[in-house]
Amino acid sequence: MSERVESIVEPPSAGELLELVATFLSDEIRPLIHDEKLSFRVRVAANVLQIARREFAGAAALVPDRDGHAITAEMLASAGSLAHLTGELLGGKRSIAQPEVFGMLQRYVDEKLKIAAPAALASKT
């Protein structure tokens, strides 16, 4: 008698599901839409799903601050939170002209771009 071996199929991960839906919207649904406003909204929805996928996958080295904002570990160690750093900048305690502050903010923007617009980051170099 032969044994029946069942294969185990892993369901797609959350990141893969986000990618699949974004691709479906962009490649299969959007070309069928003739209304410009609806087509734009579908494109935005697909882009939002891609952003969520990159954020979910940990594409950037960001950690939550005490207010829940995603910031770099460097910013967390230096200022504690995005709100506190903003207050120091607005209050004149720190300045963007200070090389260490400028560098820290530049690295923060780069990490945010890894999630929101990786093509923009790639074209930066």
65-84 confidence digits (pLDDT tens): 999 999 999 999 999 999 99
Whole-angstrom Cα Rg for the chain:
21
Q: Look at the chain and count its residues.
A: 125
Please give the Cα distance from 69 to 113 (Å, whole number). 15
Whether residue 2 has pLDDT greater than 70: no
For 21-60, b/e burial (b = at least 16 CB within 10 A) is bbeebbeeebeeeeeeeeeeebeebbeebbbbbbbeeebb
Question: Among candidates 18, 50, 25, which has minimal Cα distance to 39?
Answer: 25
Query: Across residues 91-107, what is the average pLDDT?
Result: 97
E strand intervals along 1-125: 63-64, 70-71
pLDDT in tens, 26-63: 999 999 999 999 999 999 999 999 999 999 888 889 99
Whether residue 85 has pLDDT greater than 90: yes
Across all residues in the chain, what is the average pLDDT?
Answer: 92
Q: Which residue has the tokens 């594409």?
A: 59
pTM listed for this prediction: 0.76
Reported as half-sphere exposure (CB side, CA atoms, 13 A), residue 16 has a value of 4
Per-residue confidence band for 87, with pLDDT thresholds at 50, 70 and 90: very high
Name the token pair of 57. 């996958």
